Structures are given as structure tokens and as C-alpha cells.
Structure 1
Amino acid sequence: MASRSYTEQTIKQLFGSAAGRCAFRSCRRKLIYPATEQSSTTIVGDIAHIVAFSNDGPRADSTVSDKERNSFENLLLLCAACHRLVDGQPADYPDEVLRAMKTEHLDWVDGNLENKMSDIKFPELEVVCRRLISSELADSTALNSLPPREKISLNDLGPSSSKKITMGLMQAPLVAEYLQSMVTHVDPDFPPRLIAGFRDEYDRHRSTGVKGDGLFLLMESFAAGGSADFERHAAGLAVLAHLFQVCDIFETAS
């Protein structure tokens, strides 16, 4: 029997898309606790299977391959208590209920991100950008190399990614203002090093064959820093959307 092994990309997609929260609609507790001066980051979430991992598990389906069972589409992020509940009462939580729960949770995350987008200020951008910058400088890149809609199509991004980009671009002027303030008052090389940090992460995942919405979700998770706080997540999405619009982190030519 295959092992319960998940790729780095799958884990990041799962936690990032769920905003580090339990997907059970009456729970949605934070599952990521940031590091403190005394302790490292602690994750209290479980990776639950919609179709069971084993053929004798809850919601088992022998026609589903091992690869499909461990894929992002078949996984749900839950706290330990909710995980035990859905697996302990599979007749009440069949696969179609869990898939609907996942979709509902992703919509809930989007709604919270949109609500928090207007609250972003320089301090939130400072926290996000300082963590993402690289020690290297990015090569110069042309601004507005493609209109966003054309770039979305070229990168095979679907409605979910397109919605996130549109949402993040609500704060594009603020991100541009923040980056200009860093150039003027703090560090003239700040934007190129920020771009380099994103480009390194993009190239690392792209080299493994990930693309489309999966790749965008990985970049969104990277920008959010694995945080379960919507303010941090919204700030990261705003930075990612701005860089998507003005530079060549994503593909700009076929």
C-alpha cells in the first residue's frame, strides 16, 4: 500500500487555500500558531481525506488511485476534533458533503480576504515584504509587459486565481506607494530584492512542473507566509497581485 505522503506543494496549497483554518463550517479555528521568543511555529491541524486513503476507511472508493487520494483536490484541512467527527460518522459526512464543505470554506476565506483588503496599511505591507525580500537583486523588468487579463490567460489561471488577482489589485496603488517610500527613504534596492524573492520561489515550483491555479496558490501561500491571520494574508495577496501586474514573475510570453 502506498504511504500517506504529500508533496511540499500539496501541503502548502492545502494550508494556504484554507488560510490555516479548520474547514468545518461551525469551527474554523486557527490551526497555525506563530513562533514566539520561546517556541517555534506550531501546527495543530490534520490533513483529512475526502475519499478514504485506504480501501476499508471511511468514504472508501477502490476506483480512486493512490495519487488521487493524496492530491490537493481530495484533501481537507480540519482540526483534530472535526477530523475525528467526519471519519467517525461517515454516513453523515459522505464525500459530497465534504467537497461542498471545502468549497464553502474557500468562499468564506475569499470573503474574509476581501473584507480585510481595505484595512491594509504600510505596517502590514512592511511585515509581509520584509520577510519575502532576497539578498540578491532581480534583473530589471519591463513594467506592464502584458495587460492583466492577457497574462491571466497566458498562465492558464482560472476563475479562482483571477478573482484573487482582482481582489489584490484593489490595493495596488498602496503597494506601489509603499515600495516607492522604501526606495526614497530606506533602501533603493528594496523592490528588486522583493521581486527576486518572489521570482526564486516561482522558479523553484515551476521547475517541478506545477503551473496554472496550483502555482498561483503556492505563490499566494508564500506571500501570506503560512499565516492564519487574514490581515497578513490580504497584505501578501496585495503584494503578489501588484507584482503580477507590473513585472515578469509569471509567464509573459508563450
Structure 2
Amino acid sequence: MASRSYTEQTIKQLFGSAAGRCAFPSCRRKLIHPATEQSSTTIIGDIAHILAFSNEGPRANSAIPDKDRNTFENLLLLCAACHRLVDGQPDDYPDETLRAMKLDHLDWVDRNLENEMSDIRFPELEVVCRRIISSEIADSTAFNSLPPQDKISLNDLGPSSAKKITMGLMQAPLVANYLQSMVTHVDPDFPPRLISGFRQEYDKHRRTGAKGDGLFVLLEHFAAGGSADFERHAAGLAVLAHLFQVCDIFETTS
């Protein structure tokens, strides 16, 4: 039996896609509480298994290979109370119900991001970019020659990622204006340093084998700073979509 442990990539993908919220439809509470002056960041979420981790657990299925038990596809982000409920009453919450719950939650996240996207302004972009920016300038800051749709196809990005890119590009003019303002008034190297910060994260996950939609979610989580606030998440997605469009990240898959 495999150990009950999860890769960093899986955890970030799970929290990122769920926007750090409980997936139970009548709950959806924030599971990430940011650091304060007195305390560090606190995570109150649980990682639930759709099909049980063990052969004796709720919704057990002995046919599922060990290697698939702790994958993103078999996991659901819940608060502790909702986790206890679905595992305590597995006949009321079979695996089909939990899979539908997960998909419904992802749709709910998308709707909230779309609603929030139109409200972001320079201050929200400032918070996102200041966290990402690197002290180094990227080796390559070339503007890409591929249209977004070609990049989407090249990287095997599915409808969910494509939808989020389109959503983020709604604010591409705002992001471009913000970056130009930083170049003019603060730091002429701001855009290449921003690209460098993204490239470091992109390369880190590529080295572990991340690709496609999984890689996009990891970068989305990174851009949002792991926040459960939709305002922060929307601003991060706007920056990610802008860089997807204008720089050479996602240009190659090798």
C-alpha cells in the first residue's frame, strides 16, 4: 500500500483549482487564512479521497492501483467538517456524487473569477506582481510569435485552461498599462524581472514533469499567491494570461 502523502505539485494543483475553498456546495468556506502580524498563514482544509486510500475506507475500490490513489483526479478539497460528513456517510456521498461536486465547484470558481475580473485595478496587480518579480532579469524576454490559440494547442491545454486564458485576457490592456507605468515611473526592468519570476516557477514545475492543464493550474496558484480571495486570484490570472500572450513562456514543450 502506498503512503498517505501527496506531492507538492498535487497539493498546489488541488488548492489552486479550488481557489482554496471547500468544495461542498453549501459550505465553500475559505481554507487558507493569510498571515497576520502575530501569526503565520493557517490552512484549515482537508484533502479527501474520492475513492478510498485504503481498501477498508469509505468508497473503497480495491481495483484502483496504488499509484492512482493520491492523484489530483482522486482528491477533493474540503473543510474538516465536510470531510468528516462525506466519509462518515459514504452511501449518501458515493464517488459519482463527489466527482460531480468537484466539477460543480470548479465551475463555481470560474464564475466568481469572471465576476471579479472586471473589478481589478492597479493596486491588485501591484500585489500580485510584487510577489512574483525576481531580482534577476530573464535570459530570454522575447515576445512570442505564436497566437494564444496556437500555444493552447501546442501545450495540450483543455477547455478549462483555455477559458481561463480568455477570461484573464479581458484585462490584458490594464496589465499592459500597469507594466508600462512601472517602466516609466519606477523600474525600466520591471517587465523582464516579472517574466523571470514566472519563468523560474515554470521551469521548476517542468523539471518535475508537469505539463498541460496541470502546469497551468500550478502557475495560476503561484500567481494568486495561494490566496483564497477571488480578487487576488483574478488579478493573478490576468497577469498570467497577459504573459501567456506576450512572452515566450509556453513556447516550447521540450
User: What are the superposed Cα offsets for residues 46-95 of structure 1, whole Å, 9 maximum, x if unpaired?
Assistant: 00000000000000000101221100000000000000000000000000
Runs of at least 5 residues in structure 2 that lack an aligned partner in the other structure: none
How far, CA to CA, are the matches of 1:206 and 1:142 in structure 2?
19
- Report the alpha carbon displacement of residue 216 of structure 1 after superposing the two structures with TM: 0.5
Q: Which amino acid aligns with 1:107?
A: D
Residue in structure 1 matched with residue 99 of structure 2 by the alignment: 99
How far, CA to CA, are the matches of 2:113 and 2:5 in structure 1?
30
Residue in structure 2 matched with residue 195 of structure 1 by the alignment: 195
Residue in structure 2 matched with residue 74 of structure 1 by the alignment: 74
Q: Which amino acid aligns with 1:68?
A: D
Provide the secondary structure at the position in 2 that maps to 1:232: helix
How far, CA to CA, are the matches of 1:234 and 1:140 in structure 2?
26
Residue in structure 2 matched with residue 214 of structure 1 by the alignment: 214
How far, CA to CA, are the matches of 2:39 and 2:239 in structure 1?
29
User: What are the superposed Cα offsets for residues 158-189 of structure 1, whole Å, 9 maximum, x if unpaired?
Assistant: 11110010000000000000000000001111
Residue in structure 2 matched with residue 132 of structure 1 by the alignment: 132
Provide the secondary structure at the position in 2 that maps to 1:47: strand
- Report the alpha carbon displacement of residue 141 of structure 1 after superposing the two structures with TM: 2.8
TM-score normalised according to structure 1 size: 0.98
How far, CA to CA, are the matches of 2:249 and 2:148 in structure 1?
13
How far, CA to CA, are the matches of 1:209 and 1:9 in structure 2?
10
2:134–2:197 Cα contact (<8 Å) kept:
yes
How far, CA to CA, are the matches of 2:197 and 2:142 in structure 1?
17
Q: Which amino acid aligns with 1:37?
A: E
2:20–2:32 Cα contact (<8 Å) kept:
yes
How far, CA to CA, are the matches of 1:177 and 1:219 in structure 2?
22
Provide the secondary structure at the position in 2 that maps to 1:226: coil
1:168–1:241 Cα contact (<8 Å) kept:
yes
Residue in structure 2 matched with residue 179 of structure 1 by the alignment: 179
How far, CA to CA, are the matches of 1:85 and 1:222 in structure 2?
31
Residue in structure 1 matched with residue 145 of structure 2 by the alignment: 145
- Report the alpha carbon displacement of residue 252 of structure 1 after superposing the two structures with TM: 4.2
Structure 1 segments of 4 or more deviating over 6 A? none
1:146–1:252 Cα contact (<8 Å) kept:
no
Provide the secondary structure at the position in 2 that maps to 1:142: coil
Residue in structure 1 matched with residue 28 of structure 2 by the alignment: 28
How far, CA to CA, are the matches of 1:208 and 1:104 in structure 2?
29
Runs of at least 5 residues in structure 1 that lack an aligned partner in the other structure: none
Residue in structure 2 matched with residue 251 of structure 1 by the alignment: 251
2:15–2:77 Cα contact (<8 Å) kept:
yes
- Shift of the 34–63 alpha-carbon distance from structure 1 to 2, 3 Å rule, reads same
Residue in structure 1 matched with residue 46 of structure 2 by the alignment: 46
- Report the alpha carbon displacement of residue 253 of structure 1 after superposing the two structures with TM: 7.0
Residue in structure 2 matched with residue 19 of structure 1 by the alignment: 19
Percent sequence identity over aligned pairs: 87
1:242 aligns with 2:221: no
Q: Which amino acid aligns with 2:29?
A: R
How far, CA to CA, are the matches of 1:32 and 1:240 in structure 2?
21
- Report the alpha carbon displacement of residue 144 of structure 1 after superposing the two structures with TM: 4.0
1:24–1:82 Cα contact (<8 Å) kept:
yes
2:51–2:69 Cα contact (<8 Å) kept:
yes
How far, CA to CA, are the matches of 1:143 and 1:233 in structure 2?
25
1:145–1:252 Cα contact (<8 Å) kept:
no
- Which deviates further from its counterpart, 92-101 or 134-143? 134-143
How far, CA to CA, are the matches of 1:181 and 1:30 in structure 2?
33
2:155–2:253 Cα contact (<8 Å) kept:
no
User: In the comparison of the two structures, how many residue pairs are matched?
Assistant: 254
Q: CA RMSD in A?
A: 1.0
